[in-house]
Amino acid sequence: MSRKSARLIRTIKEWVSVLSAFELLAIRAFLLIMLYASSCDIEGSRAVDAITGLTLFKSIADAGKTIAEIAKGVNNHETKQQLNAIYDNLMDLKQQAARLEDENRELKEKLRLASKPMPTPNIRCLGSKTVFLREGLNGSGWYEDSSKNSTNVAGAKVCFKNHSSDETLKTVAEPYDVRASLTFLDGAGQQIGTGISEACWTGDLRQINFGVENAHCVVVLLMFGPEFVCPYLRRTHAHWGEGILTDEFKFDAMPKTIVIRLLEDNSLLLPPCYFDVAMSDGELALKQRST
């Protein structure tokens, strides 16, 4: 064997030794990064540094190209098989590194969304108003009507508005299918009846959505002569599906306090609003308590 051939064989053996060590280090580094990435959660954690992932990917790709070039010039069958095996393993690592980078990108997006505060509604109570109301045809809702009509009923409504934010570029959420729950208290602060889970909004019977700068009003009390009632929504079921009708809750005496809660998906949209009820010159008068 010539000295030139001997030197070539020694060089190849050294390459195999070095590359085998690199292979172990690459696998170990990859597993450590995967372990670190899998331990990251959305709350309070961070994603793997993008430079680390790209560096690993590039190192594996460059090493694979080098091994492929060396393998082309090697005649020893066994050495060539070893180099090809290392090359295959590195290509597997390259694919795994690429997948890791994709997962890392997805994790970063989740972290970005998690760090961005979710928009919330900005609903505020506008107060109460004594009005005249009329019932729609076939119990299809209650409408404000100031005309002098014997069918109109004196009552009280409380209005709410979803205000835009005073902060620049702050998004305000728009609650959908909002319902108003009413609780009635007597002079001793005791609850009257079981309350109303779904009060009537003024206007047509419809789903109430609070778009930004939209306002809606709840009918909280009606006065039929000496009698006090509160309309509410009653859901009925028939063979064609669910229907909605209005019904009335009748009081033995005028309630002293009305508590209003606005809910979306059973979650409060703002703190409960308390209104004290009284009569002033024969008319209803509601006064909101300060919180």
- Residue ranges and CATH numbers for the domains of the chain are 3-115 (1.20.58), 123-288 (no CATH)
Residues 211-264 have pLDDT tens digits of: 999 999 999 999 998 899 999 998 887 677 777 788 899 999 999 999 999 999
What span, in angstroms and rounded, lies between the C-alpha atoms of 223 and 260? Answer: 19
Are 258 and 221 a contacting pair, CB within 8 Å? yes
Residues 10-36 have pLDDT tens digits of: 554 554 454 444 444 454 455 444 444
Q: Rounded to two decimals, what is the model's pTM?
A: 0.61
N- to C-terminal Cα separation, the chain: 99
For 74, the enclosing helix (H) or strand (E) is none
Both structure tokens of 224: 């039929």
Q: What percent of the chain has pLDDT over 70?
A: 65
